[in-house]
Amino acid sequence: MKVRKEDWKRMAAVAAMSAPAIAFMTFDFVFPNISSPSLDKSVFVAFLLSILFGMPSGYLTRRTDLAILTVLIYVFLGYSLAIVAYSAPFVFYDFHIVFPGLYFLFFLNLTVIPLMMFVLGGFIGVVLGQLLGESFDREETAQAFSRGHP
């Protein structure tokens, strides 16, 4: 199916709201002792939060394929933002790299499992968000009929 300009706008808006959470959780997974608040490297908590942050994609996007695409977009954006935060002392300030040689590999090594959790949790969140949206719609319809104004 065709993706319209409106759809891209909607996906961008939802991604902008969900990406910071992914970025923070990824950064926190690398440096749990200096980030605040911290999840203390708990993959389970990160997974639950990623389900929560997948729900707006499902709730605000009717089409499932676009909702799943939104999840991929915000996980990509969030992960990129986390890499920027991880690199901040060396890119924006003149500090020496802590782990030279394995700089990005070290980051990827620590965060690859949470990254998968974010995608999986996002997909589950999409399903739950769409169920929630349909439930809200049914409720609104029922209330409108009960008032006699369909």
Partner 1 sequence: MSVMKDLRNRWFVTMLSAAAGLFFAGALALSTLTYVSVMEAREGVELRNAVESAELLSNGSLKVSLSIELINPSPHCLRINSISWSVRIDNTTAAPLFIPVTTAYAGASAGIVVDANDGTTLGFEGFVSDPERLAAIRGFANFSAGSDDDYTIEILPYLHDFRVVAWIDNFDHDYQYYRELYLNDMVRIERSYYGGEYR
Give the residues lining the site for partner 1 (CB under 8 A): 6, 9-10, 13-14, 16-21, 23-25, 27-28, 31-37, 41, 53, 55-56, 59-60, 81-82, 85, 88-89, 92-93, 95-96, 98-99, 110
Minimum CB separation of residue 129 from partner 1 in Å reads 8
Q: Which is nearer to partner 1, 68 or 125 (CB)?
A: 125
Minimum CB separation of residue 48 from partner 1 in Å reads 14
129: CB partners within 8 A, 6+ apart: 54, 55, 56, 57, 58, 59, 60, 67
Q: Which is nearer to partner 1, 72 or 81 (CB)?
A: 81
Minimum CB separation of residue 110 from partner 1 in Å reads 7
The closest of 66, 82, 104 to 20, measured between CA atoms, is: 82
Q: Which is nearer to partner 1, 113 or 142 (CB)?
A: 113
Minimum CB separation of residue 148 from partner 1 in Å reads 22
Q: Which is nearer to partner 1, 55 or 126 (CB)?
A: 55
Report the amino acid identity of residue 115: L
84: CB partners within 8 A, 6+ apart: 91
Minimum CB separation of residue 147 from partner 1 in Å reads 18
Q: Which is nearer to partner 1, 25 or 119 (CB)?
A: 25
> Measured between alpha carbons, how far is residue 52 from residues 20, 75, 86, 142 in Å?
13, 13, 24, 27
128: CB partners within 8 A, 6+ apart: 51, 54, 55, 58
Length of the chain: 150
